[in-house]
Amino acid sequence: MKITDASVRPYPAGDSTLARMAVEAAELGFDSVVAIGEGAPPVGGAAVLRGAVISGASPKEVIKQVREPAAQHADVVFVNAGDIAFNRAVVSIKEVQVLRNIHAARKNAFDHVAARSAAQRGLAVDISLAPLIQYRGTKRQRALQQYEDILLLHRRYGFLLTISSGACSILEQRSVREIRGLCALFGMTGAEVNEALASVGRIVEPDQPVRVVG
């Protein structure tokens, strides 16, 4: 399966063009990236998948948004995490593929009930590296604790994890080696990182063979 950065935000949302970010991703060891927002199609570098982010205030609103053209035409559909009741509900919505921004949710907002449902559905929880790169002090420590809790649930229930740089420019993109180092901060092993980097490929092309990351 393809080794994928599960979320980058190219210009105009970010500072670098999609074409430049695709080239950078390839140089950093990625086969593909999921681009959030608009951008000119690249002519080289890593393959680009289209990502749609839904930020509904209620499960009913999420259901409405996943049926709109932006989500229907996306390769990967993300939903921003909310409180525990919201997360338990949205992981059961068929069109939702990845729950993101878990670092911004309250502690225990993703619990064993949501974890079991996610595992049954093949839904992934995204680990964004952006807070580990950009935050300092208490905010960074809180994100690390959230990820440690998610990792423990992942090991118990087996739902998918994805890893995203959340990069808005080429300066924020990270190599596979750097990602392993950042994920080690909350106890993720190299093998678990490799598996998570391949999860977008499993979501998009579930029958494709796995490529070993060196």
> Each residue of 121-149: pLDDT tens digit?
999 999 999 999 999 999 999 999 999 99
**pTM, entire model:** 0.92
CA distance 55 to 100: 10
Whether residue 212 lies inside any domain: the answer is no
Q: What is the span of the domain harbouring residue 170? A: 4-204
Whether residue 213 lies inside any domain: the answer is no
Whether residue 114 lies inside any domain: the answer is yes
- How does strand 98-100 pair with strand 4-8? unpaired
> Each residue of 152-204: pLDDT tens digit?
999 999 999 999 999 999 999 999 999 999 999 999 999 999 999 999 999 99
Q: Which residues contact 61 (CB under 8 A, 6 or more apart)?
A: none
Q: How many domains does the chain have?
A: 1
Categorise residue 166: left if φ over 0, alpha if ψ from -120 to 50, beta otherwise: left
pLDDT given for residue 51 in this prediction: 95
* CATH number for the domain harbouring residue 95: 3.20.20.140
